[in-house]
Amino acid sequence: MSKLLEMRERFPQTQIWVDSCAQADLEYGLSLGAVGATTNPVIVSQVLQKELTEWEPAMRTLFDPSRALAEDEAAWKLIEQMGVRGSRALLPVYERSGGTCGKLSMQTNIKYYHDWEKMADQAAYFHSLAPNIQVKMPISAAGLKAFEEATYRGVSVNATVSFSVAQAVALAEAVERGLERRRDEGLDDTGITPVCTIMLGRIDDWLKKVVAQDRLTVMPEALEWAGIAVFKRAYEIFRRRGYRTRLLTAAYRNANHWYQLVGGDVSMTLTANYLRIFDSCGWELKNNMDQPVPQRWLDELMGLKEFRRAYEEDGMTPEEFEYYGAFITCLEGFFKGYETLLQLMRPYQFGRPLDR
């Protein structure tokens, strides 16, 4: 039996999302019981490379001289079209679940991470494109204001560029404020399904970099548990406080990132590659979410200042979020992904396809 279908049957609270909006990836994920999907600038550029022939007519139309669209305008129109197409694939899941599942996340312009008003306005616009669009924004200090405002406007948000308990808790509180504002005005909030991403592998990546740069002595096995430890700490807090926001995992690096969280009331966004790996995994499925991180590895990690900043609820202030190393490297990756998208589209601006 498919391991992921078995997980859906035994632990229906542990949801699978597809970390892609490519048509083939969505179809494959849906066949394994996926109930959501995510995108970002890197994913969109990767999808365009996979499906370039299919998107060529759209790019030619966008760059038609009669439309006089600037390069950035054309790129965002393409992102919209790709997101709306993906949302249609998930619409049956959305309708069957009564709007609680089946949403596709579209990410706001990463250049706006300091401007909460632009993020909130773009979030509201994306929300208007289809009934099952969720909107991703980074958890920066400005992002917290954007999350509250977008939630107040009825947007289901997906918080990203997130690596710490402090960020997750601050995001959940911002969402609660937005929901309270809606309730105070008698507005319905039943269809709002916020999620907060914690990028497990990027936490591990950052700590490995710190250990190497600072020549620290840490057991290598401990560094493979950092993201899991942060996630489990945030999960315990969210459960205890009853936040509306649901936690979501991303940025996988190994099978343990999946296996240790099976059984949790969480979502997991997986690339097509990891969907295949986990689906054929021979490990016995059991509820691992409630099992603590082995104390010896947690003790090792607590000796690292950069881990404590991510693990402790008061490890960072909102003003410090965007200066955490993992935040910086992730943001740089998103900027590069967007630049790659522009490079792929640019030849069509001049009326010629890419050389193959």
Q: Are 55 and 78 in contact (CB under 8 A)?
A: yes
The pair of structure tokens assigned to 292 is: 């603590």
SS3 per residue for 140-168 = CHHHHHHHHHHHHCCCCEEEECCCCHHHH
Rounded Cα distance, 81 and 78, in Å: 5
Tens digit of each residue's pLDDT (9 = 90 or more) over 157-211 = 999 999 999 999 999 999 999 999 999 999 999 999 999 999 999 999 999 999 9
pLDDT at 351: 80
pLDDT at 354: 53
Tens digit of each residue's pLDDT (9 = 90 or more) over 310-348 = 999 999 999 999 999 999 999 999 999 999 999 999 999
Please determine, for residue 356, whether its predicted confidence score (pLDDT) is greater than 70: no
Q: Are 215 and 282 in contact (CB under 8 A)?
A: no
pLDDT at 350: 87
H-helix segments, 198-321: 200-213, 220-223, 226-241, 256-259, 272-279, 295-302, 305-311, 318-321
Cβ neighbours of residue 135 closer than 8 Å, sequence gap 6 or more = 105, 106, 107, 108, 122, 123, 126, 127, 150, 155, 156, 157, 158
The pair of structure tokens assigned to 171 is: 């995001």
- Strands 195-199 and 157-160, how do they pair? parallel
The pair of structure tokens assigned to 293 is: 């991180």
Q: How many C-beta neighbours within 10 Å does residue 218 have?
A: 18
Mean pLDDT over each residue of the chain, to the nearest integer: 96
Q: Would the pTM count as exceeding 0.85?
A: yes
57 CB burial (10 A radius; 0-12, 13-18, 19+): exposed
Query: E strands, 63-189, where?
Result: 103-107, 133-138, 157-160
Rounded Cα distance, 237 and 164, in Å: 12
Q: Are 279 and 3 in contact (CB under 8 A)?
A: yes
Rounded Cα distance, 172 and 259, in Å: 25
266-272 mean pLDDT:
97
